[in-house]
Structure 1
Amino acid sequence: MTTGRGWKRLAPRPGVLFIVVALLMFSCLLLVHGLARSQVGVDATGAVPTEEAHDEVPPAITDGGPVIDARGATPVSARMPAKTISLTFDDGPDPVWTPQVLEVLRRHQVPATFFVVGSMAAQHPQLLRDIRDAGSEVGLHTFTHPDLSAASDVRIDRELTETQLVLAGALGESSYLLRPPYSSTADAVDNDALRSFRTAGTDGYVTVLSDTDSEDWQRPGVDAIVANSVPANGAGGVVLLHDAGGDRSQTVAALDRLIPQLQAQGYRFTTPEVAVGLPADNRPVSTVHHLLGATLIGLVAVAGVVVDALTWLLVVVGVLVVLRLVLMLVVAVRHHRQRHRADFSWGPPVTEPVSVIVPAYNEKENIAATVRSLVASEHPVEVLVVDDGSTDGTAEIVEALRLPDVRVIRQANGGKPAALNAGLAHARHQLIVMIDGDTVFEPSTVGRLVAPFADPSVGAVAGNAKVASRRGLISRWQHIEYVMGFNVDRRVYDVLRCMPTIPGAVGAFRRSVLLQVGGVSDDTLAEDTDLTMAICRSGRRVVYEESARAWTEAPATLGQLWRQRYRWSYGTMQSMWKHRRAVLETGASGRFGRAGLGHLAVFQVLLPLLAPLVDIFLIYGLLFLDPVTTLIAWSSVQAIQLVAAVIAFRLEREPLRVLWLLPLQQIVYRQLMYAVLIRSMVTAAGGMRLGWQKLRRVGGLEDLLPTPPDAVSSSAQDPTPTPTRERLVVLSRR
């Protein structure tokens, strides 16, 4: 028996359920919209089938008339009486041409039969009412205009049922008259066509073909349409015309000449069933069917409004995203060139020692490599490892290294902000560097990281965080994201002076600035973002130093990546909300609020929420639009992304070979980031407080330090086994 706790584990979370339901609803709307607005072809006369294709069709059909009744065991057909004309219109209703056709019919007081496509009629139900008000009749031309001779019995039944529902919703009536799309004259009926007639006949439908084709679908000219529409030798006929499917101005003009011409020759105009003696069409339906039809029409209307609005919105979003990408790259290149000018300098060299704070909670896999890389720094440092209640022997590992200028501070578990504040309280120097316990520095990193402090206006510096292990697919995707996402953004934020985040893996601060903003706050889960925003609001400049590289362990599994990005995303939203008043402030704080927070809100929160729609619309385009055009448009976007990635990788001097994964990243990895963002939004909207998400470390940073295997064991004999600078300089060559 499943316990209550077991049921709780099995039940989907409200946020997940909300996302799934929302996506399903939108997908259903797209499906309805796609079916209702799929392109409708014109009913051109098909080629005459071969003799073998007729072997099951009785001569009573092929030699008979255009009205075929297959409701009984033996199909029968009927011809139009002499001097009797039935005008029939296919492929509508069309909001432009159907009203013009109706106006001509009213003026000459002539009825006609409009064989409507259900998807078109669902979009324009008022036109069905206009047809009936004008004294004409409505027949069925299927819902999505397929070739019924090639359709299954189930498909035929669905096409007719859906179209019948539209008639019921718009008119409160039904029709038993059917004209299959792409049908021709009776002598062209083959085995497959007869099968479809029989299938429809079992549901009570009478098939109405044509025996006089105006060929107006070719737009041959008004004179030709009139000539083609006149039956030979005074015979009667069912005339095929079109009130949709393109420009029908020739049809309207020809109709205005054809009717009086035939009337003058003694022809009478009526509907097919009346002409051959069948019961009247357009019978009332039940209230239930009327409501079902009205519901279908309402869904089509809602789907049209929603999808059309989102289509225009996505066009705007696409333009904004492309413009942002181009501007970001232009500014990033400008930033790179400025920093690499021969005459660029922050000022006099910064030589004062630095306190490096390493907050550590259960970091046994990487802590030794982290500390060793810091001790090997070319810049004078003291290293403070703040053990925040670790239970895996993290502090003991550091103490066993016996490295100079390394202190271990132990405290009860209080979270990363508490650990950083404890390190700040014990720091001896005025320049503070913060590094995560799963990160290693290059020998030059600390010196380059604090170099911008030669400028008195600089209050903090963001370094260049890089993914250390790039062996797995997930790690490589993150590597691409770091290079073409995070680091390009930081270059731009530096130029605009609105840096929102100094990465926890590599950042430097003036001690006085940290004390001014009250240290590291635990108000949010993104303490690095919260701290950076507070510094920006204080009026101090935050810059990006691309040459200060740090190599950090990235999540190795999708689950770990989800937990990390969920915390980042939710913490960023918390920080944005905490510092929202900066938007209304003046000076540097106002510039940060309007540029930094505004950019985050639009391009990191709002627009990405619409990004999944792009992928859904891709499927929609492949199913209901021109698939070639859809693929070309999608490929063009991917090409722009690839160009941007190449530029970003060149700025970082990174090898390009990993970029073959970029298209796959857009399909798989990006979807996970969307889900994370949406889940974070749902969490934020619900006012829930998210707990700290500790990632499981796998280690491997020792591989970045080419230390001999006996280095650790030799530490027992050598009290200060410090890695040599030569052994660490390999990092700068990666």
Structure 2
Amino acid sequence: MPELPLEQVTPFVFSDPTGKRWPRLRLILLIGGVLFFLGTVLFVQTLFVAPKMNVPFSLRQLKGQLKALQRENPAGQLSPASLLWQKFSAARQAAKKLAGAGPIPSPRPRKKPPENEVRLAFYINGDPYSYASLQEHASQITHLCPEWMTVINGLGELQIDGDTRLPKLTASKGIALMPLLTNLVGDTWQPEAIENLAHGAAQRQDRFIQSVLSVLRTAKASGVVIDWQQIDPVYKKDVTKFIDKFADALHDDNKELWLCVQPGQELDYIDIDALADNVDRFVAMLFDETSETDPPGPLASRSWFEGWVHVLLEDSDTKQWIIAIGSYGYDWTIGGKKAELIAFAEAMSRANDAEIKSVEVSGPSYSPYFYFQDEDKEHAVWFLDVVTFLNQLRAVREQKAGGFALYRLGSEDPAIWDALSVPRDFKLDNQTRQSLELIKSTDTIADVGDGEIVTVDEDRSDGMRKLAVDADGYLTAKYVKFAQFPTLYHQGAGGEHQVAITFDDGPDPRWTPKILDILKAANVKAAFFLVGVNAERYPGLVRRIVNEGHEIGNHTYYHPNLALCWPEHIRLELNATQLLLGTLTGRSTTLFRPPYASDTGPTQLSELAPLKIAEDLNYLVVLENIDPQDWAKPGADIILQRIKQQRHDGSVILLHDAGGDRSQTVEALPRILDWLHTRGDTVVPLSTLLGTTRDAVMPPVQADAQSLTRLVSSTGFRVYHSIEEFLWAFMIVATALVVVRTLIVIWLAYRFRRGPKADFAEPISVVMAAYNEEKVIAETLRTLLATDYKGEIEVVVVDDGSGDRTAAEIERVAGDEPRVRLLRQDNHGKARALQRGLATARNGIVIFIDADTQCQRDTLPRLLEPFADARIGAVSGHAKVGNLRTFIARCQALEYTCGFNLDRRAYNRWKCITVVPGAISAVRKDAIDEAGGLSLQTLAEDTDLTLSLHRHRQRIVYVPDAIAWTEAPESVRTLARQRFRWAYGTLQCLWKHRDMVFNWNYRALGWFSLPSIWFFQIILVAVTPMVDLFLIASLPFGAWRAVLPFIVTFLAMDVILATLACLLEREPVVWALRMLPMRLIYRPMLSYCIWKAILRAIKGAWVSWGKLERTASVPVRA
């Protein structure tokens, strides 16, 4: 009688005889999938629809508020500063006559300066335009003087703040690096520091000089430039002696000392004639004729500049002098205390925005200027350009000075660099004239107005001026069109004693409530720039911020660097956060602060573009000038100190209430508030600085405004929040469980003890199922029979309907070996084949072995030794991968070592081994019969049998030295087929024996090993794709920083377990590193197999045994 198909013999686990389960579930999944897809599409659409916000036009558009004013040339009269050079000349000549020596012989420096023209450039630290100008024009300068060292007290202590990029750059360009040494701390000169040092002990001076030399050596500098100001003339002799001593020490180290000479009263403390023998160069700082605290006027008029050049160089070695020429401007607010230093580009933007018709550069000052009105404030702008530069450079060269210096890099008229080769008579060829008359609009971003709340104008256009030479031979110009540079328009400066405090990156459940408590106790209102992902996680804190009267701003959803984001991404960040805040609070916000670059404002066009996008969405961009960098955790004292130092720079303070440990910020905040109060400042909301109301910057959401959009978005955010919370919770729980399981497995594996060796030689039966194994079956039988086992052996091989010469190969071996018997059957699967072989086995101990497994000579003796103990019902052998030809196979070798065999070592200790592998195992036949025999209900008959043995209290042990070598899949495709079969069979067994989970009757099996399979092999692997997608989706938004620790922990646990397994198995430890690339292949492949198995289980479909194509690539080891 022919055998019935297997599925008709017995129902299998997950079978659905009615066939109705899958169609019903498929319909539910289809409907749910369509609804989810439509909901997702609608939700995403709402994120790209900008919420409507009404911002007063006066707050959004400042450009039109500038108006031109006509003023007569105020430079017709000489200022007091312009007369100082005459007074100095007269005093110098009088000193010569009093000395009775007539003209003083021309002093000589220590060594004769080179004849080549020096081109020195002053570099401003922290100014990106200064660095950009240096990079572009490095080939046109010979020396660079960057801000570097400051003498902060009379002890000679130095504050070092050099740009570490410069030594390498200057060396590569052949530029001599001359760091600047000043006594300027912040914005305050410290004359006492120099006076005490010069008048102090020689030992103190020596320490100071050695400190400077150490800095210069480290920077590979050629020397130092000294700029000491406001020193009392009483110390003139002391300072002269000290500079001489300083110069000697530098010269001994082959370095130079240059001394800055400020025209005017600063000359009272400098003895130029006495210092000329030791100072290598004097640098005359011929700019700031009218300082920022003076009434408006020229910065370096013709008569003032030429007068000082003449008087300083007369009776001197002219080559010893470097003349510094200014390249900047001042914007005075009439009636204000202090002018604003501006770059040439900013002067152009002001003139262009105020619609100034023209500006002339002509006598007597030969300095450009204009006046304009900003709302009710009158402004005067004086600046220096290429025309003033050329007139002054001619005077320098006519006096045969050693060279010139440009003060300062980054703020200059770009045409200056084209003017260096212009002849003294100003006879210009057409190309040179065109380059000088054209005012190029560069990437420099101009700033107009006061305050840290800005709007953006990206427009750019070149300007034009007409050059001419007047009757006196001086170059003149008329500006007929002003260049337009990208511009930031500032507002919100507020009153002199008004200041706003802002917090970024929140809310945070640990720090934000403490900050709110402090603000509430002080009755202070602040502004919180919220990150959307944090607001979504802690909605209660968002509502508390608003309910307590504070203002909120948009700080993007995931805190990315917007300069690196595409425009759609930026809009998505802003819209998502805006919709979320509106959903949580019922208010919109017009305030926006970009992440990362808010402390300095944008300095590149790539940083300006996101601000323009925000402005187009009706946001007000909030920057700040007071940044104590509390995120770096410098300490509460330093945070307060930095705010004190920067308070005069602006009206907006930046602090952080999230993004890390903010305990120092919380500690410093009450002290900050107390200091501001003592100073006379009032902490006000940003809306007060803007001169408007809270409702204007945070307009309430109208009940009927975009109601459908807000309904969809609010629902979407809640769903997204739930999914995100689940994934976060899952990652946290999974990570904790992985760590706990790893520690337990390590502890148990180290405590593994093999049972005592014993002689066991009872008769045994080997049962083997074979299907299309012609390439390997003969070698398997040969190594099996070549054993050292002393007992009787019977080998039963069941051919499961092979279509190749498997049966013939078995018969060939059996012809020479009577211990081998062949049974044939139609193809009904491995379990049915083993069941038949087991039924014909004659002996009480049965060994199961796969048809591709090769045994060593000691495999069977080692495997059977535990049966000397009658309590042992089954023994698991140690299967190892024998074919290591491909990367896939080598990865499986590691998986067998740490994933299977290490677990069995650990589980052996707690008597909870979950599978006695069909590749190599031994079982008492009566134990199988007691457990109900080999079941045909699952595809994983070995796991099913093992769990059934546990049900009947059979003891199962593991023998790690009973080694057998098996052939593993060598491609991803064949591996996926095998793992799908394993996954489906394992899922069947888990479901069949689900009552054993968390069942005290099965102890460690029910509480540790079976739950481990459910979670780590099924649930975790199934959910992994969602976690991976979450991680990938977070990469562009910066949330990967929060996810990364979990990923690293998972990988670390894998590597640790793999390392331990390799050590125990005496495999190369370097194998453990394969765990890292394995995850790139295994994680998605195993997830695919698990989900495929789950779907098959839901369908109720049978899965056939399948067949791995054999390659006979396992080397003979017997």
Query: How far is 1:152 from its partner?
Result: 5.7
Any gaps of 5 or more consecutive residues in structure 2?
1-24, 45-124, 134-342, 354-445, 460-486
Give, as a single letter, the amino acid of the residue that structure 2 aligns with 1:529. T
Q: 1:548 aligns with which of 951, 962, 968?
A: 962
User: Within 2, Cα distance between the matches of 1:112 and 1:510?
Assistant: 78
Where does residue 5 of structure 1 map in the other structure? Answer: none
Give, as a single letter, the amino acid of the residue that structure 2 aligns with 1:469. N
Query: How far is 1:526 from its partner?
Result: 1.5
User: Within 2, Cα distance between the matches of 1:554 and 1:527?
Assistant: 19
- Say if 1:114 and 1:137, in contact at 8 Å, map to a contact too: yes
2:1063 is the alignment partner of 1:647: yes
Q: How do 1:40-55 and structure 2 match up within 5 A?
A: 47-50=126-129
Larger-Rg structure: 2
User: Within 2, Cα distance between the matches of 1:585 and 1:119?
Assistant: 41
Give, as a single letter, the amino acid of the residue that structure 2 aligns with 1:373. T
Q: How do 1:56-95 and structure 2 match up within 5 A?
A: 56-57=345-346, 58-59=349-350, 62=447, 64-66=449-451, 67-70=453-456, 76-78=489-491, 80=493, 85=498, 87-91=500-504, 94=507
2:1004 is the alignment partner of 1:595: yes
Q: How do 1:672-711 and structure 2 match up within 5 A?
A: 672-681=1085-1094, 683-684=1096-1097, 686=1098, 688-700=1100-1112, 703-704=1115-1116
User: Within 1, Cα distance between the matches of 2:695 and 2:760?
Assistant: 100
User: Within 1, Cα distance between the matches of 2:540 and 2:670?
Assistant: 20
Query: How far is 1:471 from its partner?
Result: 1.6
SS in 2 for 1:414: coil
Where does residue 250 of structure 1 map in the other structure? Answer: 668
Q: How do 1:326-345 and structure 2 match up within 5 A?
A: 326-332=746-752, 334-335=753-754, 339=755, 344-345=756-757
User: Within 2, Cα distance between the matches of 1:155 and 1:241?
Assistant: 25
Q: 2:835 aligns with which of 421, 441, 450?
A: 421
- Say if 1:208 and 1:272, in contact at 8 Å, map to a contact too: no
- Say if 2:894 and 2:1058, in contact at 8 Å, map to a contact too: no
Query: How far is 1:492 from its partner?
Result: 4.0
User: Within 1, Cα distance between the matches of 2:1050 and 2:935?
Assistant: 43
Where does residue 534 of structure 1 map in the other structure? Answer: 948
Change (3 A) 1:527 1:143: closer
User: Within 1, Cα distance between the matches of 2:515 and 2:843?
Assistant: 88
Q: How do 1:606-617 and structure 2 match up within 5 A?
A: 606-608=1015-1017, 609-610=1019-1020, 612=1024
Which of 1 and 2 has higher RCO (CA within 8 Å, sep 6+)? Answer: 1
User: Within 1, Cα distance between the matches of 2:855 and 2:515?
Assistant: 78
2:803 is the alignment partner of 1:391: yes
Change (3 A) 1:255 1:89: same
Q: How do 1:380-529 and structure 2 match up within 5 A?
A: 380-401=792-813, 402-405=815-818, 406-529=820-943
User: Within 1, Cα distance between the matches of 2:1008 and 2:684?
Assistant: 71
Change (3 A) 1:196 1:430: closer
Taking only the aligned residue pairs, the percentage that are identical comes to 31
2:984 is the alignment partner of 1:570: yes
Q: State the Cα deviation string for residues 95-153 of structure 1 (Å, max 9, x = none).
A: 67666776777788776655544444444445555555555544444445556667665
Where does residue 318 of structure 1 map in the other structure? Answer: 738
Where does residue 167 of structure 1 map in the other structure? Answer: 581
- Say if 1:463 and 1:549, in contact at 8 Å, map to a contact too: yes
Query: How far is 1:426 from its partner?
Result: 3.1
Query: How far is 1:395 from its partner?
Result: 1.9
Where does residue 362 of structure 1 map in the other structure? Answer: 772
Q: How many pairs does the alignment contain? A: 645
TM-score, length basis structure 2: 0.50
Query: How far is 1:159 from its partner?
Result: 4.1
- 305-314 or 363-372, which deviates more: 305-314
Any gaps of 5 or more consecutive residues in structure 1?
1-12, 33-45, 705-729
- 95-104 or 400-409, which deviates more: 95-104
Q: State the Cα deviation string for residues 216-245 of structure 1 (Å, max 9, x = none).
A: 88744898689669779xxxx734354635
User: Within 2, Cα distance between the matches of 1:81 and 1:255?
Assistant: 18
User: Within 2, Cα distance between the matches of 1:226 and 1:467?
Assistant: 66
- Say if 2:967 and 2:1114, in contact at 8 Å, map to a contact too: no
Give, as a single letter, the amino acid of the residue that structure 1 aligns with 2:1109. R
User: Within 1, Cα distance between the matches of 2:1114 and 2:652?
Assistant: 85
- Say if 1:435 and 1:504, in contact at 8 Å, map to a contact too: yes
- Say if 2:553 and 2:593, in contact at 8 Å, map to a contact too: yes
User: Within 2, Cα distance between the matches of 1:627 and 1:162?
Assistant: 21
Give, as a single letter, the amino acid of the residue that structure 2 aligns with 1:694. G
User: Within 2, Cα distance between the matches of 1:327 and 1:602?
Assistant: 19
- Say if 1:467 and 1:479, in contact at 8 Å, map to a contact too: yes
User: Within 2, Cα distance between the matches of 1:541 and 1:269?
Assistant: 74
SS in 1 for 2:1109: coil
Where does residue 651 of structure 2 map in the other structure? Answer: 238
- 374-383 or 51-60, which deviates more: 51-60
Query: How far is 1:210 from its partner?
Result: 5.0
SS in 1 for 2:651: strand
- When the two chains are superposed, the root-mean-square deviation of aligned CA atoms in Å is 4.6
User: Within 2, Cα distance between the matches of 1:288 and 1:391?
Assistant: 65
- Say if 1:649 and 1:656, in contact at 8 Å, map to a contact too: no
- Say if 1:84 and 1:275, in contact at 8 Å, map to a contact too: no
User: Within 2, Cα distance between the matches of 1:552 and 1:155?
Assistant: 52
Query: How far is 1:365 from its partner?
Result: 2.1
User: Within 2, Cα distance between the matches of 1:270 and 1:412?
Assistant: 85
Give, as a single letter, the amino acid of the residue that structure 2 aligns with 1:363. E
Q: State the Cα deviation string for residues 336-362 of structure 1 (Å, max 9, x = none).
A: xxx4xxxx333x542x44332222222
Query: How far is 1:469 from its partner?
Result: 1.8
